[in-house]
Structure 1
């Protein structure tokens, strides 16, 4: 796995030499992550959750971090919730704060792990709209999802994994084609075609 041309975990070159913890920490700082669970700090406001990494990791002043937090909260449609605690937000709103928190750090890549699985069905759309907007702006993302229609519409490349390995990879139109010869993929997609495609 390479991020911005650098192999993760090992140094580039002939001998596979593990990266130092310092190198790994620097690479992690360039990677954003949004989890299944919202993982917001319950004692911090929406803005405070976003500001924490900006001040502690990026060394921004509180004023600059607040400005960035307000920008991203506005971008995910939550400018009016900047001073709300997580308990005062719906699940979809909490997940959008989680996305804003990750993107505010200006990562080179954003990892999204089943970000809609903990949401009520009516809240899924608002979260996916934010992700699609980020994709349209050119954000590099790796997203694990069972939202097949969304994957088709928002992805430039799909990787279908089964039994711990890559089973199919390519552009959405190819991977999700009805005439795929991959039996495991065809069986998986059959469950979604009636409701999503």
Structure 2
């Protein structure tokens, strides 16, 4: 399963490249501070891309409707087909830059993910997402620092490999995985 950090930076060399791009943008003058900012962002962005997708499914989707119905009627199973599902997601954070106990500045970073799911076939029972039988999603990730573009990436994922259901993923609060 792929994290946002892996998507944006890939390896350590990707972090170095992002820090160099941040320094070249003029948003932060010190190369050492740029490296520290990117390193901290790398830690903050170490969450799975599929987590964003699951949260969207829990808020509003045909999967949510199926979860409510299968939870209300035990023993029922629904196969949900979603031709296309688009989700924009944004998160902004502030990082305080402190050196030797002295506050130098506050950096604002913004992450935008645009997810597009196509040809999703999902199995829902007992209010849980229990299986993914097909589907893909494209993720466009864009990171800015101090309003300046730092890194953008676009990637296509197979949901079958990125979304592991295990004993079921609760789509509603009343559902419990076994």
Same fold per superposition (TM over 0.5)? no
Q: Which has the higher contact order (CA 8 A, sep 6+)?
A: 2
Larger Rg: 2
Give the TM-score range, shorter chain. Answer: under 0.3
- Which has the larger share of helix? 1
**Larger strand fraction of residues:** 2
